[in-house]
Amino acid sequence: MDLKRWLRSFLSLCLIWGFTACSAPAPKAVKVTPPTTPPRVEAHPEPIVAAIPSKLPEVNFNDPVQLAISEAQARFEKGQGLYKDGSLKKAKDEFNAAIDVILDTAGQYQKDPRLQKELTELVSKINAMELLALQGGDGFTDQSDQPAAAIDDLQHVETFPSQIDPTLKKKVEDEIKEVTHDLPIEINDRVLGFLDYYENGRGRGAIEVGLERVGKYQPMIERILKEEGVPLDLIYLCQAESAFEPRALSRASAKGMWQFISSRGKEYGLRQTWWVDERSDPEKSTRAAARHLRDLYAMFGDWYLAMAAYNSGPLRVQHALEKTGADNFWALAEKRALPNETINYVPNILALTIIGKNPDKYGFSVMPAPAVETERVSVDKATDLRVIAEKIDVPVEELRNLNAHVLRWTTPPDDPDFQLILPKGYANRFNDEIGSLPDSKRILYREHVVKKGDTLAAIARTYGTTTQQLVAANHLGKTPILRVGYTMVIPMSDATPPSPKSLAAKTTTTTRRTSASTASTARTASTASNAPANRYYTVRPGDTLFKIATQFHTTVDKLKARNHLSSTRLTVGKRLIIGLEKGESAN
């Protein structure tokens, strides 16, 4: 191990374990059992050295493998602490870093059995914690959720007492007489305060977003509310929760348009697995919310108390009623017997209902978005959404937006209950194109040619996958070794594709490296006798058959047939036939 790596590992250990200073190691390492959790540095008035533990963890600084293992263990234990604190994404970063340390060291000390043992144990522990996180409805996944600003901001809104325009109450009372409501609408200073907040205050932008987005879901929501026997005006509870955003995620980890926490979602049949989170399914979550509200009304016999219980939980409302002797929501609000967010919650919904029923009268000239018309199809095999989008000719982003409940780029494997949401009118085309599609064509892969300096960890980060997936997809064995020039298969279905910026940077780098050979090949191809345009193409780093076929408006099957390819793997520099051969039929 070189001096630079020794110093890096030593300093990493010091920082991870929380040391504020480190002494040089003794010539002979003292073997001490490592603590199960990192020692905590307490603040003391004595000199800072006094805060350092008297004994270092078991680290033999003359043994590079042991040093790497100790660093990996320290990072894992730091990740454990973050996991326990609920910082799942930060925990994942530490776990990945722990594995990276072992994999990097294994490249230099391939025959040391301690590294394989440590890697096996680390992966086993991380997988076990991942499973626990998934069972709780979370996981170490990076999802494209949106902040649930509508509900998160509510606890900070101050609307009472406030200076209310005395003419506003008369204006509102006259207006609600002209509009039909199936929810009791009480006008008091709290409600008027929220009306003013939206009409003239900071809430104007938030409500405009909801007034536009409601058009997508209003027919569906009102149909389900009617079927479940709850007031149609409760559609504006959804406006208060998320402004009708299926991917909304609150600071309290409530999710979806109706902001279900994990346990409540499961109670009402919303599945949460590694693959799907039905709290983000607009129709299924609406059905669950309607049934929950109906149950709460049956419990309290009052829609205002039912709404308060939806926000803060039925037990809290029940305890507040018992403690104060109150029999209605407004009395609980006056006694401050509920959280501030809940006290604001009910008048907020009433204000949103008043505005939503007659937005023009309150100065909102917003055109609702067209209704989203959809249909559902069963998909019981893992199938990449990009494959589906191409086959049925629907933009992939539209398909992703319709299926916010699908957490990955791939539909769940072996799940007979899973349904994919399609634009209305596409079910038959889906069944024709996807129903008989072989398993080998349902999943997308990319390819990567190993360059000098590449590591599994770096490649995984580039493509948004994991080292474990790379090892499995490429059959790299227990001690993965990368060889320059080797073409790796990159499974993309379980991961988010690399960002356009990272791809652009990568393309710029590889283009400079291959510009000379590419130009030479292009000149040769263009001067071939009787060669039609685009007849030949030289494979570049990052190319796939799917990418090339799309670029030249052909198909993968035709490229494979013309070039006698038995698989989709490509070699950089290989010359592919793109155009038709003489006598070859376009069919």
Average pLDDT of the residues in 105-122: 82
Question: Taking a C-beta distance cutoff of 8 angstroms, is the pair 362, 355 a contact?
Answer: yes
Q: What is the largest CA-CA distance in the chain?
A: 96
**Do 352 and 405 sit in the same domain of this protein?**
no
Q: How far apart are CA 577 and CA 531, in angstroms?
A: 10
Domain carrying residue 484: 444-498
pLDDT > 70: percent of the chain: 71
Domain boundary among 331, 362, 393: 362
Asked if residue 368 belongs to a domain, the reply is no
Structural domain total, the chain: 5
Res 317: pLDDT:
97
Q: Domain end: 338, 362, 386, which one? A: 362
pLDDT at residue number 301: 96
| 506 part of a folded domain | yes
Confidence of residue 525 (pLDDT cuts 50, 70, 90): very low
* 427 falls within a domain: yes
Instruction: With respect to residue 369, please indicate whether it lies within any of the assigned structural domains.
Output: no
Instruction: Mention every residue, 6+ apart, whose C-beta is less than 8 A from residue 27.
Output: none
For the ranges 162-166, 349-353, 473-477, which has the lowest average pLDDT?
162-166
What's residue 50's pLDDT? Answer: 35
For residues 129-151, give the mean pLDDT: 54
Q: Are residues 518 and 490 in the same domain?
A: no
In a domain, 384, yes or no: yes
Q: Which of the listed ranges 47-61, 141-155, 321-335 does the model predict with the highest average pLDDT?
A: 321-335
Same domain, 422 and 452: no
**Domain end residue (candidates: 333, 362, 391):** 362
If pLDDT is split at 50, 70 and 90, which confidence band does 477 have? confident
Co-location of 309 and 173 in the same domain: yes
Over residues 129-133, mean pLDDT:
61
The answer to whether residues 473 and 504 belong to one domain is no
Tokens read off for 34: 């490592």
pLDDT in tens, 230-285: 999 999 999 999 999 999 988 888 999 999 999 999 999 999 987 899 999 999 99
Tell me, yes or no, whether 312 lies in a domain: yes
233 and 355 within one domain: yes
Note whether 96 and 184 are same-domain residues: no
User: What is the 3 state secondary structure string of 307-333?
Assistant: HHHHHHCHHHHHHHHHHHCCCCHHHHH
Q: What is the mean pLDDT of residues 67-93?
A: 81
Residues 118 and 35 in one domain: yes
Same domain, 202 and 345: yes
How sure is the predictor about 115, in pLDDT bands with cuts at 50, 70 and 90? Answer: confident
Q: Is residue 140 part of a domain?
A: no
Gyration radius (Cα) of the chain, Å = 30
Q: Which residue, 573, 563, 569, is CA-closest to 535?
A: 563
Kindly report the CATH number assigned to the domain that includes residue 537.
3.10.350.10
164 and 174 co-located in one domain? yes
**In terms of domains, do 312 and 427 share one?**
no
- pLDDT confidence band for 396 (50 / 70 / 90): confident
Q: Looking at residue 234, what DSSP letter applies?
A: G
Whether residue 209 is predicted with pLDDT greater than 80 in this model: the reply is yes
The conformational region for residue 287 under phi > 0 = left, psi -120 to 50 = alpha, else beta, is: alpha
Which one has a higher pLDDT value, 489 or 185? 185
The pTM score is 0.58
Q: What is the pLDDT of residues 150-194, one digit of tens each?
A: 555 555 555 554 566 778 888 888 888 888 899 999 999 899 989
Q: Which of 214-228, 283-297, 402-416 has the weakest average pLDDT?
A: 402-416
Residue 39's region, left for phi above 0, alpha for psi from -120 to 50, else beta, is: beta
Whether 396 maps to a domain, the answer reads yes
Residues 81 and 44 in one domain: yes
